[in-house]
Structure formats: structure tokens, C-alpha cells
Structure 1
Amino acid sequence: MTPIRILGATLTYIGDETPIFSELNVEFSAATWTAILGPSGCGKSTLLRYLAGILSEKVDFRASVFTPNLTELSGQVAYMAQQDLLLPWLSVIDNVCLASRLNGKKVDDVTRQKALLLLEQVGLAKKAAARPAELSGGQRQRVALARTLMQDKPVVLMDEPFSALDAVTRHKLQQLAATLLKDKTVLLITHDPQEALRLGEQILVMNGAPARLHSIIPPKQAIPRCIDGEFAKIQQSILEHLAKTHTESTSGGLK
């Protein structure tokens, strides 16, 4: 998988006059976790949904450079949202196999065995026949992670996938995701500087139209990182930078 490179990008919802972001320049390194932080409304989730192909008919997107383009990205991307989006009438294993069904593929024994193996990796093999309503929030999100892994795509887009979970469950799923998504190109949207520092090999703070991206040098240790003195110092610098962008936003510096 080549890097995703975007230069001079502007995105506007059809019918709106004000762009969500403009003059965006960014490169997402291949086989690397990129964590993106920023104030609400700066366009980070919109960018992720556009790359996932969800917004192509709802927005006007223009860029001087966009490689690979949306057509080339299609079929290479798996998307994991904050909500687990499990279908309540399907069993856990059938939810994991959902992408195969939607792509018109037969869910045969080989497919179900692969899904069961992934459920075992996320600790839910014994819940394969259960319905989503029988699961806790953390278990449902683990099923969503297994469903994402089932697609086996080189690019994984994650929009605050763990933010609704308690601290212990969130920490465990961060650890699990870092292990199971190793060597994938992962774009993670988060509001949590600690999560960005645990998982980000490239960390970007995004704000504004025109868009500005501030790169944070992450701690030296490999992901998922443990909290130490260096980690805490960088976390504090991120919080200070986010506080500054929030002040700019509320004083009219951002749209």
C-alpha cells in the first residue's frame, strides 16, 4: 500500500457556501498508525468519511494532488465508527461476516471459520451465537473490531472507536487493535491525547479552514505505548496546543 497523499484539498457539503476544510495538505504514511486530533468541526471526521467513500455524492471535494484517488482506494478501505453499528437481528458471527454478504459472497464454512478465529482473538468465541443485545458495550465494540479485521483491508479508518467505553475496556481494546492491525495503514480520529500517544506513530493536530496541521513528535517506544515521563510531557504539550486552537475557534479564528 502506498501512502495517502493529499495537497491543496477543499471539501464543501453540496448546498453550503463555507467549506468544512480548505487548503489541506497531509500525507498518511503506509503501514503506520496516524492519530488525528483537533477541535469539533475542524473536518477530521468528515475527511475520514470521505476517504471511506461515504460522502462522495454529498460533498464537493477538490485537490491539486490526491493519490491514490477515491476510485483506487475503493475496495482497499475498512471503516470502524464510534458506534458499533451491529445489526440486532443477526448473531455475533453473522455480524462479523456481514461484509461478505454485502459484497455478494457466499458465507461458507471457510468464511465462518475465519470469523470464529477472529472472535477468538478478541475473546468472544463463546458469544458467536449470541445477539448484540446480549453483549456489553465493550463486547459489542470488540465484535465491531473483529468485523473490521474480517475485511482484511490494507487501510483501516477508525473514527473514535473506543471513546464511549470505560477506561479499562478502552485500554484493553487499544492494546488489541495495535496488535491485530499491525502493518496496516491506520487513520485514527480521537479527542483523547493519551489515546493518540498510545497508538500514533504519526500524530497530527488539525484545525480550521484554511486547514492547519501541527505535527507532534511521538514518544520513542513502540505502540501501544506505556505512560512514562516522556509520554506525560508530550501529552501536556498536546493539551496546550488543543487549548490554543479551542481559544482561536471560540474567538472566531476558525469556522
Structure 2
Amino acid sequence: MIEFKNLDVVFGKQVDQALPLLDSGVSRNEILEKTGCTAGVRNANLKVEQGEICVLMGLSGSGKSSLLRTANGLNPITRGSVHLDTENGMQDFNSLSEAEQRQVRMERITMVFQKFALMPWLTVAQNVAFGLEQKGMDKKLIREKVEEQLELVGLTPWADKKPSELSGGMQQRVGLARALAMETDIILMDEPFSALDPLIRAQLQDELLRLQAKLNKTVVFVSHDLDEALKLGNHIAIMKDGEIVQHDTPENIVLNPANDYVRDFVAHTNPVDVVKGHSLMRSLSSLEQEGEEYCLSHRHDYWLELKSGIDSARVRLGDQFYPVHKWDGEGSIETLPKQPAMVPVETIMKDIMELRYHTGHGVLLHKNDKVVGYVGDKDIYHALLGKLLDED
């Protein structure tokens, strides 16, 4: 876990004059005019839980990179603290000695830069091995770890190539492999994909999600691209003029923007890529029940029969019964049978709409091996109109 507490970062020579202005709520521009100092981050409070990807995003100059770089000491902290989960528990990074900070950088936290930061005179394998060599690790173990990481990011055939012989996307994979090879719990990523072509960028985003599902790292990821943030983040922290204006799940950022600034950010976001089943569904407990059946639609005489748990679920349309097919995201929706589908509550709206279209049935949702809700046409229409059912 990593936690930023009451964090201020002020750049300039007259910091003592800038701080009272900061505390009184004076704007960044006015502080700059009066003191020559830049308020890079002001009163930031943010907790990133173990195993999650938190995306810091905002316009250029919003403070996202300034905040990120306090986590490993690249930016000095003016006030406040950054607490990291270490072998000695949660510790304030700024209060550690230089030797202790260096050890934390080696063992607990690594960084992937926007400009790759590869050493052009070293091979791909040597670049990946560099941090491990600085640790003084055994050469045989280094070789094994390098091979493992190159295999993980699909670069084994290029191990002996120089960075100049690789595409931009492949170079960025080297940087990612180098960070992963350190086997730290926390990875900082400062706009790592922003310099890449859109197709390569999308591929590396998918690659990061694949690796995260396997490795479960704590990732703080800086981006100025909302689509990227919505795709990658478990949580998003939107920044403006050095302040965090909203920290929430991607879904809540889109559905419940905290202010006009955030609202403008998400104004053109397509909800089908963000809204999840648990926000669309009518809960099972809210449906009319008759015996072992729950009413999905009176007009169509459409009912869910649930006798003894999730595996007994089947749907009745008039006098005809349909078995329920559980879909976990694998395989093509177009090839599914023409019968009701049951999906996890985290399934995105886009997939639920496609299931509704191809199967000809509404979609059931489950969580922890229990049927918990249903999404029909009405629920989808409400969401497309920007109004969820519980707002009726």
C-alpha cells in the first residue's frame, strides 16, 4: 500500500512566503506572481491499496507527475508525508535515511518512465538486468530472472538486440520488464505509453492488464488520457492546479462527477465502456416473487425460476423453459446459444448489451455463486439516457 497524506510540493526559492498563501486558498497563478514559486501539489490525500491500479490524471500542469515523483524521492516534499508499506510496516519515506531510502527504491518501489530511459549501449537483456546487478545479485539468478521477464513481455527473441533496433512499443516493454524484474510491490508509471502510436498504445495497455492479473502489483499510473484511465484504473484521481478534485472508481467518475471540471472531462465518455452490471441491474430482492419464481417481465410473462441455488436457475417465457448459460468473458458472444446468459456483476454494459442482442434474452447477474440481479431492455434504456433505475 502507498498513502499520500496532506502533501504539498512547492517549487521555488521563497517557499516560506508561498506556504501561508497556499493555506489561505490563494490560486496557483497568484502564488506564482507574488512569490515566484509554483504550487506543484497542494494538500493531496490519496491512498492506493495493495494490488490496485490508481491512475493520476489531469491536464498538462495539473500536478499528477509532481505527486507521483514524491513517492520515490524524485521530487522533494515541502509538507506532508508519503507512507509506504515496507518490511517494517508503514513508513514515511521522507523520514528514512538516505541508505534506507535507497534500499526502499531497490526492494519496494520501481519506476517506468515516459521516455523509456534505456541505456543505448546495453542489450535488451543487459538493460533488464541492470537494477538486479546494482543489488549485487548472483549472476546465475540474474540471468534466470531476466529470461523470465523477457518471456513475460514477449521479448525473448530480442534479448541480444540494442534498444535502437526495437520499435517504440518494444522499447517500452523493455522498460516494463526491467521494473518487473526488480520484483517490487509498487510500480510507478509516468505516462509510459503517451509517446506511442495508438495501436501500440492499446496493445501495451492490454499487456499491462494481463500482467497485473498475474502479478497483482500496486501501480500508480500517470495519464492525461481519460480513455486510458478508464480502461486501466481500479480508481482514478483527477487533478487540477495541484489539487485532487475527485478520487473514485471509473464508473463513479463518469456517473457522478464531483464538479464542472470533472463533468467536462467525462462529457464525451461512452457509458457502455464504463458502466458495470451492478449499476444497471434490478436486484433479485426487488423483483416480484411467486413461489420459486421471480418476475422479470409481466408483459411478456417472463420469469426466473430458482429452486436451489445458481445451478438450478432457468427462465420461463410463457410455457417454455430455457436453461441459463454462464458466460465469464471468454469466447465470442456471437456463438452463444439462444438462451439467457448469466454474467458476473462486474461485466461492462457493452458486453451486456451484446448478450441481450445475440441471445434474445435479458441478462442475469451473479456474485459469489448467487444470482443477484437482472438487466432487461428498460434498464439498458435508462442507462443510455444517463439515468439509472434507482434514480426513478
1: CA distance, partners of 2:57 / 2:248: 10
Q: 2:171 — aligned with what?
A: 140
Mapped contact 2:193–2:204 kept (Cα < 8 A): yes
Q: Pick 1 or 2: higher relative contact order, CA cutoff 8 A, min separation 6.
A: 1
Instruction: Report the CA distance between 1:60 and its aligned residue.
Output: 4.3
Q: Within 5 A, what are the aligned runs for 1:33-182?
A: 33-55=53-75, 59-63=76-80, 66=83, 68-70=91-93, 71=96, 74=105, 75-106=107-138, 108-181=139-212, 182=215
Give the secondary-structure state (helix, strand or coil) at the position aligned to 1:68: strand
Instruction: Report the CA distance between 1:109 and its aligned residue.
Output: 2.2
Q: Which AA in structure 1 matches 2:67? A: L
The structure that is strand-richer by fraction is 2
Q: 1:4 to 1:241 in 2, by over 3 A?
A: same
After superposition, the C-alpha distances for 1:133-157 in whole angstroms (9 at most, x for unaligned) are 1111111111111111101110110
Match of 2:222 among 189, 194, 198: 189
After superposition, the C-alpha distances for 1:78-113 in whole angstroms (9 at most, x for unaligned) are 10110111101111000000101223334x122112
Q: 2:318 — aligned with what?
A: none
Q: 1:16 to 1:38 in 2, by over 3 A?
A: farther
Structure 1 gap segments, 5+ residues each: 221-232, 246-255
1:199 is the counterpart of 2:199: no
Instruction: Report the CA distance between 1:9 and its aligned residue.
Output: 1.5
Mapped contact 1:39–1:242 kept (Cα < 8 A): no
Instruction: Report the CA distance between 1:244 and its aligned residue.
Output: 5.1
Mapped contact 2:41–2:66 kept (Cα < 8 A): no
Moved over 6 A (4+): none
1: CA distance, partners of 2:141 / 2:81: 44
2: CA distance, partners of 1:219 / 1:212: 17
Q: Which AA in structure 2 matches 1:196? A: A
Structure 2 gap segments, 5+ residues each: 16-36, 84-89, 266-392
1: CA distance, partners of 2:63 / 2:50: 22
Percent of matched pairs sharing the same residue: 32
Which structure has the larger Rg?
2
2: CA distance, partners of 1:194 / 1:176: 16
Give the secondary-structure state (helix, strand or coil) at the position aligned to 1:197: helix
Give the secondary-structure state (helix, strand or coil) at the position aligned to 2:60: coil
Q: 1:226 — aligned with what?
A: none
RMSD: 2.6
Q: 1:5 — aligned with what?
A: 3
1: CA distance, partners of 2:113 / 2:77: 23
Give the secondary-structure state (helix, strand or coil) at the position aligned to 1:87: coil
Length, aligned pairs only: 225
Instruction: Report the CA distance between 1:65 and its aligned residue.
Output: 7.5
